[in-house]
Structure 1
């Protein structure tokens, strides 16, 4: 009975806090959007460069290294665009 009263007293003091954005949250979100834009731009650039290099290698008859570049850029883009979902599944538990 004493433990129950103590438990109720402690819970009454703690309460149920409401979520609140941390200070500078808007700046952090803006920085995240900038990084997302930069990752998308670098992925598009890598795929474009890989495609041009693929055409050059095909035209000159050299060894084909560019398909690996294009596949790597596409795999990196898939991971980058799904990073939020991956982190939610890992951290969210």
Structure 2
């Protein structure tokens, strides 16, 4: 039985060979979309923190309730998750 398995194993390995790695089709387009998405996430984070800071100043000036510190903290936490997304995915997948 082991001779049959050994012969089958050698035959399958002879057919498969050692393929050279190559990029999948349209890999450059997918990487470009990823870079655009990264740029969009960074821009939205900067906009959210800037808007939260302006709103914080407006609330302090008018003496209203302070809701903007939560907004700024949320934007900063979201930015931390967004910038570490690659590391998180590498640890989950790898």
TM-score range normalised by the length of the shorter chain: over 0.9
Q: Which runs of 5+ in 2 are unaligned?
A: none
How many angstroms apart in 1 are the aligned matches of 2:20 and 2:90?
21
Aligned length: 92
> Offset of 1:51 from its aligned partner?
0.4
Aligned partner of residue 19 in structure 1, secondary structure: coil
User: Where does residue 5 of structure 2 map in the other structure?
Assistant: 3
- Scaled by the length of structure 2, what TM-score is found? 0.91
> Offset of 1:19 from its aligned partner?
2.0
Taking only aligned residues, the RMSD between alpha carbons, in angstroms, comes to 1.0
Detail structure 1 runs of 4+ shifted over 3 Å in the superposition: none
> Offset of 1:16 from its aligned partner?
2.5
How many angstroms apart in 1 are the aligned matches of 2:79 and 2:60?
25
For residues 14-42 of structure 1, the C-alpha deviation after alignment (integer angstroms, 9 at most, x for no partner) is 12222211111111111110110111011
Q: Which runs of 5+ in 1 are unaligned?
A: none
User: Where does residue 70 of structure 2 map in the other structure?
Assistant: 68
